[in-house]
């Protein structure tokens, strides 16, 4: 044997033995060989477990892991032994597999929890809080920078610039107030704007002073009540003369449904219908999508946006979804030629609810109208 070979043998003897399940000796992390010494030291904030209790816990953890081992073996045996083929055999197999796997996972989980809580040291962690305020020098620097910037901008020195800038900014502050008027707030000055959301063109008349006819959306064809006679039928309808007025259509589009008389329930205002034909606003009362999916058998109107569902046979009451109130019903009748016409405007605002709606609806309820 040479000298070199002798040196190599000595080096091998100094290497600690590798323990299964631990990091290799000599790694940069806390090595297995270093850990026990570190744990024994009196480190601030670290409380070692009582050794007697830790030993008892160790035995319990070992028992849990043994149970896991046995249950895992039972799982494999069950898989092989209990064959499926009939409902009874499948049930027995499922029971055996499920129970053994449950016990195996439970044993492992309980063992790990006891290990961590009763054997490993406890740490008290404290995070230091630092003062939030900036240092005095930093605040002085910021103040000086601000003043220097103000002087350089000429805001103080150039009065003309300063005054015209303030003049320009003042009306901008009022812009949000002006926009609020569009929200139909009856308590704000300028109540003439209130009609913008509360009313639709159905309350208007033709040039000849006649009520507006209902016409089919797309074709503009007026609807004769006698022709719309098959129960379960539905039409999308707009006011005559406004077929191309998108602002008007945004609030005035309707769905027209034909019922058998016995199908109509108490929620429908009967004197607003004609021969089983009922008209509802098509604008969903949630956030305003067109609610035009109709299920003939159940009489449900469905809004595709968030699935609000309305019972068309019962005043379009909400039966599902986020909408908070029924689709408003439009009073309709027929003119001398038998065409469907509006008796007047909706009694309640159409479309999404908004913040001052309470006033409008209370007013209608007092009058005994639909709310």
Residue 311 beta carbon to ligand FES: minimum distance, rounded to whole angstroms? 15
The reply to whether 303 sits near ligand FES by the rule CB under 6 A is yes
The whole-angstrom separation of Cα 11 and Cα 160 is: 88
The whole-angstrom separation of Cα 272 and Cα 333 is: 7
Residue 283 beta carbon to ligand FES: minimum distance, rounded to whole angstroms? 9
How many CA atoms does the CB half-sphere of 233 hold within 13 Å?
Answer: 13
Stretch that binds ligand FES, among 33-41, 178-186, 249-257, 282-290 (CB under 6 A): 282-290
The reply to whether 63 sits near ligand FES by the rule CB under 6 A is no
State phi, psi for 76 to the nearest 5 degrees: -65, -40
For the chain, how big is the Rg over CA atoms in Å?
A: 40
Output the CA torsion sign for 226, 227, 231, 237: negative
Q: Where are the beta strands (DSSP E) in 111-259?
A: 122-123, 214-216, 234-239, 254-258
The reply to whether 284 sits near ligand FES by the rule CB under 6 A is yes
Residue 292 beta carbon to ligand FES: minimum distance, rounded to whole angstroms? 11
The residue from 323, 330, 332, 348 that contacts ligand FES (CB under 6 A) is 323
Output the CA torsion sign for 140, 143, 146, 150: negative
Helix (H, G, I), strand (E, B) or coil at 39: helix
Residue 189 beta carbon to ligand FES: minimum distance, rounded to whole angstroms? 32
Helix (H, G, I), strand (E, B) or coil at 224: strand
The reply to whether 101 sits near ligand FES by the rule CB under 6 A is no
The reply to whether 321 sits near ligand FES by the rule CB under 6 A is yes
Stretch that binds ligand FES, among 6-14, 235-243, 267-275, 304-312 (CB under 6 A): 304-312
For ligand FES, the closer CB: 267 or 288:
288
The DSSP secondary structure of 105-125, one letter per residue, reads HHHHHHHHHHHHHHTSPEE--
Both tokens assigned to 88: 């009874």
Residue 301 beta carbon to ligand FES: minimum distance, rounded to whole angstroms? 10
Helix (H, G, I), strand (E, B) or coil at 233: coil
The reply to whether 267 sits near ligand FES by the rule CB under 6 A is no
Residue 249 beta carbon to ligand FES: minimum distance, rounded to whole angstroms? 17
Both tokens assigned to 11: 């080096």
The reply to whether 308 sits near ligand FES by the rule CB under 6 A is yes
The reply to whether 287 sits near ligand FES by the rule CB under 6 A is yes
Residue 96 beta carbon to ligand FES: minimum distance, rounded to whole angstroms? 49
Measured between its terminal Cα atoms, the distance across the chain in Å is 106
Count of residues near ligand FES by CB under 6 A: 13
Cβ(259)–Cβ(278) under 8 Å? yes
How many CA atoms does the CB half-sphere of 148 hold within 13 Å?
Answer: 6
For ligand FES, the closer CB: 213 or 286:
286
Both tokens assigned to 168: 């320009």
The residue from 54, 106, 110, 305 that contacts ligand FES (CB under 6 A) is 305
Nearest to 78 by CA among 103, 55, 61, 58: 103
The reply to whether 289 sits near ligand FES by the rule CB under 6 A is yes
Residue 103 beta carbon to ligand FES: minimum distance, rounded to whole angstroms? 48
Residues 340-369, one symbol each (x = binds ligand FES by CB under 6 A, - = not), give ------------------------------
Residue 327 beta carbon to ligand FES: minimum distance, rounded to whole angstroms? 10
Q: Locate tokens 């067109």: which residue?
A: 290
Residue 293 beta carbon to ligand FES: minimum distance, rounded to whole angstroms? 10
For ligand FES, the closer CB: 241 or 290:
290
The reply to whether 319 sits near ligand FES by the rule CB under 6 A is no
Helix 51-81 / helix 87-118 crossing angle, nearest 10 deg: 160
The reply to whether 277 sits near ligand FES by the rule CB under 6 A is no
For ligand FES, the closer CB: 210 or 306:
306
Cβ neighbors of 321 (< 8 A, separation 6 or more) are 286, 303, 306, 307, 308, 309
The reply to whether 157 sits near ligand FES by the rule CB under 6 A is no
In the complex, the residues that contact ligand FES under the rule CB under 6 A are 284, 286-289, 291, 303, 305-306, 308, 321-323
């Amino acid at each position: 044997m040479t000298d070199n070979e002798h040196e190599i043998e000595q080096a091998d003897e100094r290497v600690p033995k590798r323990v299964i399940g631990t990091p290799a000796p000599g790694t940069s992390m806390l090595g297995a060989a270093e850990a026990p010494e570190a744990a024994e030291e009196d480190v601030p904030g670290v409380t070692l477990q009582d050794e007697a209790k830790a030993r008892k816990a160790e035995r319990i953890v070992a028992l849990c892991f043994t149970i896991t081992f046995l249950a895992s073996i039972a799982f494999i045996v069950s898989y092989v032994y209990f064959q499926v083929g009939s409902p009874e055999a499948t049930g027995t197999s499922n029971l055996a597999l499920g129970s053994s796997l449950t016990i195996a996972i439970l044993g492992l989980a309980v063992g790990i929890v006891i290990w961590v809580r009763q054997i490993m040291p406890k740490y008290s962690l404290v995070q230091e809080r630092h003062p939030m305020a900036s240092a005095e020098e930093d605040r002085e620097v910021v103040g000086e920078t601000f003043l220097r910037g103000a002087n350089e901008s000429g805001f103080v020195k150039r009065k003309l610039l300063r005054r015209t800038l303030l003049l320009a900014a003042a009306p901008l502050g009022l812009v949000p107030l002006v926009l609020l008027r569009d929200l139909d707030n009856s308590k704000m000055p300028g109540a003439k704007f209130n009609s913008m959301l509360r009313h639709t063109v159905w309350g208007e008349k033709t040039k000849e002073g006649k009520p507006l006819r209902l016409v089919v959306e797309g074709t503009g064809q007026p609807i004769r009540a006698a022709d719309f006679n098959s129960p379960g039928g539905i039409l999308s309808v707009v006011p005559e003369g406004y077929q191309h007025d998108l602002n008007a259509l945004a609030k005035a589009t309707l769905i027209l449904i034909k019922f058998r008389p016995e199908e109509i329930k108490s929620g429908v205002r009967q004197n607003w219908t004609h021969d089983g034909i009922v008209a509802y606003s098509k604008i969903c009362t949630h956030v305003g999508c067109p609610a035009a999916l109709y299920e003939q058998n159940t009489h449900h109107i469905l809004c595709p946006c968030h699935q609000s569902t309305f019972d068309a046979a019962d005043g379009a009451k909400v039966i599902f979804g986020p909408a908070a109130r029924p689709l408003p019903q439009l009073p309709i009748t027929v003119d001398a030629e038998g065409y469907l016409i509006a008796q007047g405007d909706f009694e309640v605002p159409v479309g999404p609810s908004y913040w001052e709606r309470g006033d409008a609806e209370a007013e209608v309820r007092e009058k005994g109208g639909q709310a």
